Amino acid sequence: MSNRKNRSFKARDKKRKIAKNKEKRKIYNINRQYKRRQYKHTEKVLRAAKYVDIFTKEKLCNAEILVLAKGLKFIPSPNLRNAKKTLINDFNELARKMRCKYHFDNGSHQYNRHPFLSKKWL
């Protein structure tokens, strides 16, 4: 009977050890990937720095060097996921500014009713 208990304890301990090793291995792999990405990034920056002539005393960050290495005709594109949201926010901000200008006008300008004026302002 005691032999069976020992076997179950050994099996349980073995499973715990395996689980612990899996966690350690996962953390090790994550750190390894991070270091590899960082190393590749620094290599890219060093390669790009060969093509960029800097005539100022200012230090450029790595991202600026990478963009300059792409050439003067390179135009970064905006993030498409947030493009619609930022466009709507910008439009709402413009509309609010126009409403405020119309509302707080001191009467020196003759305006017709503003098209962006909402009903609640009347």
Domain ranges within the chain, ordered by starting residue? 1-76, 77-122
Torsion sign across C-alpha atoms 18, 19, 22, 24? negative
Under a CB-based contact definition with an 8 Å cutoff, are residues 66 and 44 in contact? yes
In Å, the largest CA–CA distance within the chain is 102
Report the pLDDT value the prediction gives residue 40, as an integer from 0 to 100.
92
Given a cut of 90, is residue 8 above it in pLDDT?
Answer: no
How confident is the prediction for the chain on average, in pLDDT?
A: 81
* 76: amino acid identity, one letter: P
Among 48-52, 57-61, 113-117, name the one with the lowest average pLDDT.
113-117
Alpha helices in 50-79 (DSSP H): 62-69
Q: Which uninterrupted H or E stretch holds 62?
A: helix 62-69
Q: How far is CA 120 from CA 15, 45, 116, in A?
A: 67, 55, 11
Closest-CA residue to 102 (of 86, 118, 91):
118
Under a CB-based contact definition with an 8 Å cutoff, are residues 54 and 60 in contact? yes
Closest-CA residue to 52 (of 70, 76, 73):
70
Report the pLDDT value the prediction gives residue 26, as an integer from 0 to 100.
85
pLDDT digits (tens, 9 = 90+) for 74-117: 888 877 888 888 889 999 999 999 888 888 877 666 656 666 66
The fraction of the chain above a pLDDT of 90, given in percent, is 15
Euclidean distance between the first and final Cα of the chain, in Å?
90
Given a cut of 70, is residue 47 above it in pLDDT?
Answer: yes
